[in-house]
Amino acid sequence: MVPVAVVGGLHADARRQAVKRLLADVPGAVALHHDLSTAGRGTVTRTVRDRTGVLSAAEVALVDGCACCALREDLVPELERLTADGSVPLVVVELWDSVEPKATAEAVAGAGLRLTGVVTAVDPALVLPYLGNGDDLADVGLAAAATDRRTVADTFARQLEYAPVLALAASQEADEEDHALLTQLHPTAHRVPITATGATGTTGDTRTAGTVGTRPLADAALAGFDVEAAAAAQHPACALLPAEADEAGVTTLVWHRCRPFHPERLYAALEELTCAAARSRGRFWLADRPDTLLHWDAAGGALCVEGAGPWMASLPDAAWDLVPPVRRAAAALDWHPEHGDRCQHLVFTSPGLDRDGLELLLESCLLTDTEYAAGRAAWRRIPSAFDALLEV
């Protein structure tokens, strides 16, 4: 089957460079792109190009006024057409600026196509500015639909953290702090310079795609991709969160506790906690909601808190067999004799992080010894401060 690689990223110049590099390094490869900027005219523009230029272009009508819907409806049939006779060595799906790779990757794999890589292209000098940009995508002309309420920061964070491969643009403006921030945000990523060439400086044909060092970005894009593992690594219950780190002025604090938060004190501290770091994420629990695993996701000075299902400890034994093994394994790592897998596991990453002040603030939001000793029946009677935020 013909390999398909997905390349995305809000850093449009870096993304285009990465796609250009792939087309150059894999002779005969083509790139499929849906331009959502034309949605205001009621269409999405689809182009197919190779290293020499545009091979075809067409306008696709919006589906129910939704550009992303049109993309989903057109993407798989077009990929099936491009890969039908096996003559194309690689199809690169170049995502439009604010399209996130997860849904596209799952659509490609779900259609039975051979997804071999997901790449996010990044300009290291722009990581902190984009993480700090709380503007709505709609306000900067990057909304993918009329109902799109995402921000630049949270969209960029998800693009960055989902992809196992980061294609790095050469940037004279990037310094050690920028690279340290990128490393700490996604420490397991395979980072490949877009301009890198192998020891031989040659491209070869696609049958040598696995040859280490001949064309690093192409090798990474063809290495293989596990959709289920990628989804599990992002799920709040078993997310693969960064570890403690401190380098070049950038710090990652991993804060792990078993005692529940007092809902009113935590709510009062949300603004300060949200602004304490360029990026924070994780899972937590509230004393008045002991059965609900809550997801913490903050970037650009904005916080999203939402329920992510039950804690394993709140499920009946018979339900455990219905839970994916990776979820059970994550619960086992956090298991507490009294609380089970209920825990506070929050990670804060930022240049100039006030680690001591942040830890003190977080500790002040936990139940006090007296409140904790009162027991769960008393905890449930604590006034709930999160009803509006969780839309209860």
pLDDT digits (tens, 9 = 90+) for 363-372: 999 999 999 9
The answer on pLDDT for 304 being more than 70 is: yes
pLDDT in tens, 5-31: 999 999 999 999 999 999 999 999 999
Across the chain, what does the average pLDDT equal?
91
Q: What is the mean pLDDT of residues 225-236?
A: 93
**Domains, the chain, ranges and CATH?**
3-234 (3.40.50), 245-379 (3.30.1220.10)
How far apart, in whole angstroms, are the C-alpha atoms of residue 151 and residue 137? 5
pLDDT at 179: 97
Q: What is the mean pLDDT of residues 192-221?
A: 62
Q: Write the DSSP symbol of residue 142.
A: -
Greater confidence (48 vs 69) lies with 48
pLDDT at 196: 66
Maximum average pLDDT range among 114-123, 204-213, 375-384: 114-123
Helix (H) or strand (E) segment spanning residue 50: strand 43-50
- Of the candidates 71, 163, 49, the one whose C-alpha atom is nearest the C-alpha of residue 115 is 163
Q: Is 227 exposed, middle or buried (0-12, 13-18, 19+ CB in 10 A)?
A: middle
pLDDT in tens, 94-118: 999 999 999 999 999 999 999 999 9
pLDDT at 41: 78
Which residues in 295-309 are b (16+ Cβ under 10 Å) and which e? bbbbbbeebebebeb
The answer on pLDDT for 211 being more than 90 is: no
Helix (H) or strand (E) segment spanning residue 178: helix 176-185
Q: In what order do the strands lie in the sheet with 279-286?
A: 245-247, 250-257, 344-351, 279-286, 289-299, 302-310
Q: In what order do the strands lie in the sheet with 3-8?
A: 53-61, 43-50, 30-35, 91-94, 3-8, 114-122, 165-168, 190-193
Quick check: helix, strand or coil at residue 65? coil
- Of the candidates 353, 344, 363, the one whose C-alpha atom is nearest the C-alpha of residue 281 is 344
Measured CA distances, 75 to 34, 46, 79 (Å): 8, 9, 6
Contact predicate 226/118, CB 8 Å:
no
Measured CA distances, 72 to 19, 62, 97, 282 (Å): 21, 11, 16, 30
Residue 369 one-letter amino acid = D
Q: What is the mean pLDDT of residues 289-296?
A: 96
- CA 300 remoteness from chain centre: 15
Q: What is the mean pLDDT of residues 187-191?
A: 96
